[in-house]
Protein backbone atom coordinates (compact mmCIF):
# COMPACT_ATOMS: atom_id res chain seq x y z
CA UNK A 1 0.00 0.00 0.00
CA UNK A 2 1.27 3.45 -0.86
CA UNK A 3 2.23 5.81 1.92
CA UNK A 4 0.17 8.98 2.24
CA UNK A 5 1.97 11.81 3.97
CA UNK A 6 0.88 15.04 2.28
CA UNK A 7 -2.83 15.84 2.08
CA UNK A 8 -4.61 18.90 0.72
CA UNK A 9 -8.04 19.67 2.16
CA UNK A 10 -10.58 21.64 0.12
CA UNK A 11 -13.25 23.22 2.30
CA UNK A 12 -10.88 23.33 5.23
CA UNK A 13 -12.60 26.11 7.19
CA UNK A 14 -16.09 24.62 7.28
CA UNK A 15 -17.48 22.76 10.27
CA UNK A 16 -16.33 19.36 9.00
CA UNK A 17 -13.28 20.73 7.22
CA UNK A 18 -11.72 22.15 10.38
CA UNK A 19 -12.24 18.81 12.09
CA UNK A 20 -10.51 17.10 9.15
CA UNK A 21 -7.53 19.44 9.50
CA UNK A 22 -7.28 18.75 13.23
CA UNK A 23 -7.68 14.98 12.82
CA UNK A 24 -5.09 14.81 10.04
CA UNK A 25 -2.60 16.75 12.17
CA UNK A 26 -3.14 14.30 15.04
CA UNK A 27 -2.24 11.50 12.62
CA UNK A 28 0.97 13.34 11.62
CA UNK A 29 -0.01 14.20 8.07
CA UNK A 30 1.46 17.27 6.40
CA UNK A 31 -1.59 19.39 5.64
CA UNK A 32 -2.28 22.00 3.00
CA UNK A 33 -5.44 23.97 3.75
CA UNK A 34 -7.05 25.39 0.61
CA UNK A 35 -9.37 28.25 1.50
CA UNK A 36 -10.86 31.48 0.23
CA UNK A 37 -10.68 33.47 3.46
CA UNK A 38 -7.60 32.90 5.63
CA UNK A 39 -9.20 34.77 8.53
CA UNK A 40 -11.53 31.79 9.02
CA UNK A 41 -8.66 29.47 9.90
CA UNK A 42 -8.20 29.43 13.69
CA UNK A 43 -4.97 31.09 14.76
CA UNK A 44 -3.74 27.97 16.54
CA UNK A 45 -3.74 26.10 13.22
CA UNK A 46 -2.02 28.67 11.02
CA UNK A 47 1.47 27.63 12.07
CA UNK A 48 0.71 23.92 11.70
CA UNK A 49 -0.53 23.83 8.10
CA UNK A 50 0.46 25.21 4.72
CA UNK A 51 -2.20 27.70 3.63
CA UNK A 52 -3.14 28.27 -0.01
CA UNK A 53 -5.67 31.02 -0.61
CA UNK A 54 -7.69 30.37 -3.74
CA UNK A 55 -10.99 29.68 -5.43
CA UNK A 56 -11.99 26.09 -6.15
CA UNK A 57 -13.68 27.30 -9.35
CA UNK A 58 -10.35 28.59 -10.71
CA UNK A 59 -8.39 25.77 -12.32
CA UNK A 60 -4.97 27.37 -11.81
CA UNK A 61 -5.58 27.83 -8.08
CA UNK A 62 -6.58 24.19 -7.71
CA UNK A 63 -3.64 22.88 -9.74
CA UNK A 64 -1.20 24.85 -7.59
CA UNK A 65 -2.67 23.34 -4.42
CA UNK A 66 -2.54 19.75 -5.65
CA UNK A 67 1.03 19.71 -6.94
CA UNK A 68 3.20 17.56 -4.68
CA UNK A 69 0.32 16.07 -2.68
CA UNK A 70 -0.23 12.38 -1.94
CA UNK A 71 -4.01 12.53 -1.42
CA UNK A 72 -6.96 14.92 -1.39
CA UNK A 73 -9.93 15.49 0.92
CA UNK A 74 -12.97 17.36 -0.45
CA UNK A 75 -15.41 18.79 2.09
CA UNK A 76 -16.91 21.59 0.05
CA UNK A 77 -20.15 23.08 1.32
CA UNK A 78 -22.44 26.08 1.20
CA UNK A 79 -22.84 26.45 4.97
CA UNK A 80 -26.53 27.36 5.49
CA UNK A 81 -27.15 28.59 1.94
CA UNK A 82 -29.63 26.24 0.24
CA UNK A 83 -30.03 28.25 -2.97
CA UNK A 84 -29.19 26.69 -6.37
CA UNK A 85 -25.47 26.03 -6.78
CA UNK A 86 -22.94 24.25 -8.96
CA UNK A 87 -19.93 25.15 -6.82
CA UNK A 88 -19.47 21.72 -5.30
CA UNK A 89 -19.74 19.79 -8.55
CA UNK A 90 -17.65 22.21 -10.62
CA UNK A 91 -15.08 22.48 -7.84
CA UNK A 92 -14.85 18.70 -7.61
CA UNK A 93 -14.41 18.47 -11.39
CA UNK A 94 -11.53 20.94 -11.23
CA UNK A 95 -9.93 19.03 -8.37
CA UNK A 96 -10.17 15.66 -10.11
CA UNK A 97 -8.72 17.06 -13.33
CA UNK A 98 -5.84 18.64 -11.39
CA UNK A 99 -5.25 15.33 -9.62
CA UNK A 100 -4.92 13.60 -12.97
CA UNK A 101 -2.41 16.19 -14.20
CA UNK A 102 -0.30 15.78 -11.05
CA UNK A 103 -0.79 12.00 -10.83
CA UNK A 104 -2.44 12.20 -7.41
CA UNK A 105 -4.65 9.13 -7.15
CA UNK A 106 -6.61 9.02 -3.91
CA UNK A 107 -9.41 11.28 -2.76
CA UNK A 108 -12.22 11.22 -0.21
CA UNK A 109 -15.29 13.33 -0.96
CA UNK A 110 -18.06 14.36 1.43
CA UNK A 111 -21.64 14.53 0.12
CA UNK A 112 -24.84 13.70 2.05
CA UNK A 113 -26.87 10.67 3.11
CA UNK A 114 -29.75 12.24 1.18
CA UNK A 115 -28.04 10.76 -1.88
CA UNK A 116 -29.14 7.33 -0.61
CA UNK A 117 -32.78 8.48 -0.60
CA UNK A 118 -35.42 8.79 -3.29
CA UNK A 119 -35.47 12.49 -4.20
CA UNK A 120 -39.17 12.90 -3.41
CA UNK A 121 -38.51 11.84 0.20
CA UNK A 122 -35.88 14.54 0.73
CA UNK A 123 -37.26 17.79 2.25
CA UNK A 124 -37.72 20.28 -0.57
CA UNK A 125 -35.51 22.93 1.04
CA UNK A 126 -32.53 20.61 0.52
CA UNK A 127 -33.22 19.80 -3.14
CA UNK A 128 -30.75 22.34 -4.54
CA UNK A 129 -27.91 20.96 -2.42
CA UNK A 130 -28.95 17.39 -3.22
CA UNK A 131 -28.92 18.17 -6.94
CA UNK A 132 -25.36 19.48 -6.83
CA UNK A 133 -24.21 16.58 -4.66
CA UNK A 134 -25.75 14.28 -7.29
CA UNK A 135 -23.80 16.04 -10.05
CA UNK A 136 -20.67 15.82 -7.92
CA UNK A 137 -21.07 12.09 -7.32
CA UNK A 138 -21.74 11.48 -11.03
CA UNK A 139 -18.48 13.25 -11.87
CA UNK A 140 -16.70 11.18 -9.24
CA UNK A 141 -18.17 7.91 -10.49
CA UNK A 142 -16.93 8.59 -14.02
CA UNK A 143 -13.40 9.68 -13.13
CA UNK A 144 -10.30 7.48 -13.15
CA UNK A 145 -9.07 8.40 -9.65
CA UNK A 146 -9.19 6.10 -6.60
CA UNK A 147 -12.09 7.75 -4.80
CA UNK A 148 -14.18 7.22 -1.68
CA UNK A 149 -17.57 8.95 -1.40
CA UNK A 150 -18.63 9.64 2.19
CA UNK A 151 -22.36 10.27 2.66
CA UNK A 152 -23.03 11.33 6.27
CA UNK A 153 -26.44 11.82 7.88
CA UNK A 154 -27.14 14.77 10.21
CA UNK A 155 -23.78 15.99 11.54
CA UNK A 156 -23.66 16.77 15.27
CA UNK A 157 -21.18 18.53 17.54
CA UNK A 158 -21.06 15.55 19.90
CA UNK A 159 -17.68 14.24 21.02
CA UNK A 160 -16.14 11.69 18.70
CA UNK A 161 -15.57 8.09 19.76
CA UNK A 162 -13.85 6.61 16.67
CA UNK A 163 -16.28 3.74 17.30
CA UNK A 164 -18.94 4.38 14.69
CA UNK A 165 -20.85 2.35 12.12
CA UNK A 166 -19.96 2.32 8.42
CA UNK A 167 -21.70 0.49 5.59
CA UNK A 168 -21.15 0.53 1.86
CA UNK A 169 -24.09 1.53 -0.29
CA UNK A 170 -26.53 2.69 2.37
CA UNK A 171 -26.93 4.99 5.35
CA UNK A 172 -26.95 2.95 8.57
CA UNK A 173 -28.33 5.64 10.89
CA UNK A 174 -29.49 9.20 11.51
CA UNK A 175 -26.55 11.07 13.09
CA UNK A 176 -22.76 11.20 13.09
CA UNK A 177 -20.36 13.29 15.18
CA UNK A 178 -18.38 15.80 13.11
CA UNK A 179 -15.24 14.43 14.76
CA UNK A 180 -15.98 10.85 13.72
CA UNK A 181 -16.91 12.01 10.23
CA UNK A 182 -13.54 13.77 10.02
CA UNK A 183 -11.75 10.65 11.27
CA UNK A 184 -13.29 8.61 8.47
CA UNK A 185 -12.67 11.28 5.83
CA UNK A 186 -8.97 11.31 6.74
CA UNK A 187 -8.47 7.54 7.01
CA UNK A 188 -10.93 5.95 4.56
CA UNK A 189 -8.74 6.12 1.46
CA UNK A 190 -5.92 4.22 3.19
CA UNK A 191 -8.01 1.02 2.94
CA UNK A 192 -8.58 -0.44 -0.50
CA UNK A 193 -11.95 -1.90 0.54
CA UNK A 194 -13.46 1.61 0.53
CA UNK A 195 -12.31 2.57 -2.95
CA UNK A 196 -15.09 3.48 -5.41
CA UNK A 197 -17.70 2.95 -2.69
CA UNK A 198 -20.48 5.14 -1.31
CA UNK A 199 -19.86 4.93 2.43
CA UNK A 200 -22.65 5.61 4.92
CA UNK A 201 -21.79 6.45 8.52
CA UNK A 202 -23.61 6.81 11.82
CA UNK A 203 -23.03 6.86 15.56
CA UNK A 204 -23.29 3.49 17.26
CA UNK A 205 -26.48 3.12 19.32
CA UNK A 206 -25.90 3.76 23.02
CA 50 to chain centre: 18
User: CA angle, 175 as apex, 172 and 181 as ends, to 5°?
Assistant: 90
Whether the Cβ atoms of residue 73 and residue 9 lie closer than 8 Å to each other = yes
10 vs 12: CA distance, rounded Å = 5
What b-and-e string marks burial along 178-190, b requiring 16 or more CB atoms within 10 Å of the CB? bbbbbbbbbbbbb
99 vs 72: CA distance, rounded Å = 8
Q: Which residues contact 43 (CB under 8 A, 6 or more apart)?
A: none
SS3 string, 130-163, reads HHHHHHHHHHHHCCCCEEEEEECCEEECCCCCCC
Residues designated as active site: 110, 188
Whether the Cβ atoms of residue 95 and residue 74 lie closer than 8 Å to each other = yes
Amino acid sequence: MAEYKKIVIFGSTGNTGLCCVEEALKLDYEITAFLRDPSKLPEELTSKVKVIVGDVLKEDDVETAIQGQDAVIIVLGTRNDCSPTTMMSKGTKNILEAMQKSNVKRVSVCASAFNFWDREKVPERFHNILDDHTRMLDILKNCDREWVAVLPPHITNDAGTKDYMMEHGKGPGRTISKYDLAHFMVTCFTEDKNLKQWCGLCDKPQ
